[in-house]
Structure 1
Amino acid sequence: MLTLEAIKAKYRKRDASLYASEEYLNSLALLYHDNSKFASWDLMRQGQLAEQMNNPYINERASKPYKVHPGTQFFSFEPYEAVEVNLYPDAHLFELQRHRRSVRKFQPYSISMNELYHLLHHAYGITARQAGEGEAAGNSEWSWRTVPSAGGLYPLELYVVVLDGQIPKGLYHYCPERNGLELLSQKVDAAAIEQATSASSFVDAFKASAVVLTTAVFERTFIKYRERAYRFILQECGSVSQNLSLNAEALGLGSCLLGGFMDESVNDLLGVDGVFESILSVQYIGKNENDNNT
């Protein structure tokens, strides 16, 4: 493992950038990046770690990477599964990518359960299942989703604050296994999420229809990939965020992904510990203020 001083020496030798070299030299991010690089030995060691996971107990546990909240009020998406995406005639992938822009100003709009289903399911929902194979698989059944995930371990959790919608306002957890939303709290409103994110500096937060918050349960990926896992988790979060953006565009909605928010305040709002599970991204969803097709 490279020490901070060794990395500083490395950057002093190579720095020819406009960015202040001292910022590089004291960067924890670059220290992590250097220490999580793979060489041939690391790849061999990674193979050994993967082999250690190949036993019934770990496979059965790792194949069910999702949280559930028993006893909460549940809003099922099952009635909306039959509503095909092709009912949205403008949802051509390349056109959605070309026209996608961050939307910062919204108009009052009540988001429907059908829209929430397509927004969330096509962002991180289960699209296929497969029984584990071999003696070490045990009773595992693996589920595949709409994004690539290192080892199929799916470390992310999606929470939704519904601000104006078909279902009651409040904080929900998206449960892909049960295909629906679990109501966690009706005390979380626009003022609470704004206080935690300071979003009004960047987006018309009080006119948004919903906010999607993505967390990571780090252990799910770290158990197999150790230090490299954090890179994989961020890649996966980016894939989900892009899916949410394009899904919103397909539904005639707009979205804005926030990078600046108060992490611990958001963690407290979600009821997660901020260590083993922590917030990664916040995305506001709503009807574009300039869209007259209501």
Structure 2
Amino acid sequence: MPSQRPSVAVTRRLPEPVEARLCELFDTRLRTDDTPMSREELAEAARSCDVLVPTLSDKVDAGLIGQAGDRLKLIANYGAGVDHIDVATARQRGILVSNTPGVSADDTADMAMALILATLRRIPEGLAMMQSGAWDGWSPTALMGGRVSGRRLGILGLGRIGQAVARRASAFGMQVHYHNRKRLRPETEAALGATWWESLDQMVSRMDVISVNCPHTPSTFHLMNARRLKLMKPEAVIVNTSRGEVIDQNALTRMLRAGEIAGAGLDVYEDAANPRLRELKNVVLLPHMGSATTEGRIEMGEKVLLNIKTWADGHRPPDQVVPAML
């Protein structure tokens, strides 16, 4: 911990109120343009600061941490997910890692519900028709989608975001089911009206909609792999507002192209540049907008500020991440 104001390096543009407060409290170097740092720029930033403030677009792996030298003491991540940071290596080198959990649960759940609605009701197709001028009037059989009410929703990961999705889905009349590593308390299940499935395979095979809301960890990489995707009903859809790596994107693309799954709504990707996925009409694709609200992004910044300030005052950051949590 430095005796003077800590030096803070920020890797991306952040909301103006957050940047202003960072500069007020710390010796802060801001990113002037809103593009990801190169590997070399990121390494230089890590070498020359006490606190690095990265985002999910920055890969802070063992190699980069090894280049940081002895000055870097805190990686105060701007975001809840830390799968882009080698937390174990950081800990071995005496570098603390913090994140911003619990801020974007409602925002991300709103987006998950929006993707469910957009996918089932074919909203993007209707929007494209209107914007292109192709609509020539109402037709009894045009753009028929699926009714949301009464459908079975299987939530993969009933944490903060998953529970927020469950509450929204219940309001739309959906039947809520979930799979977790650990079953929730009976009172929580009752409050959410949620049914637990010990077997993910069995749940997936019986759902009309799958919502992926678990974090990306080694144990969840390709949790929805080709075999498990094939268990889905042909008329089912899957939405993902968590991390792209949880779904085998190549397998999903093949099945969507073959009509083996009715549709998908994706806000996150294993490979966002996949042209085969973008060509499909039965998918709704968004550019990682789940937490993109003014309120949420400022709250994320406030957590970063609190983590840095608490550390600078000689205390453990309130949102410290340790390998055992992952």
Q: TM-score range by the shorter chain?
A: under 0.3
**Which one has the bigger strand percentage?**
1
Q: Which has the higher contact order (CA 8 A, sep 6+)?
A: 1
TM-score, length-normalised on structure 1? Answer: 0.23
TM-score, length-normalised on structure 2? Answer: 0.21
**Which one has the bigger helix percentage?**
1
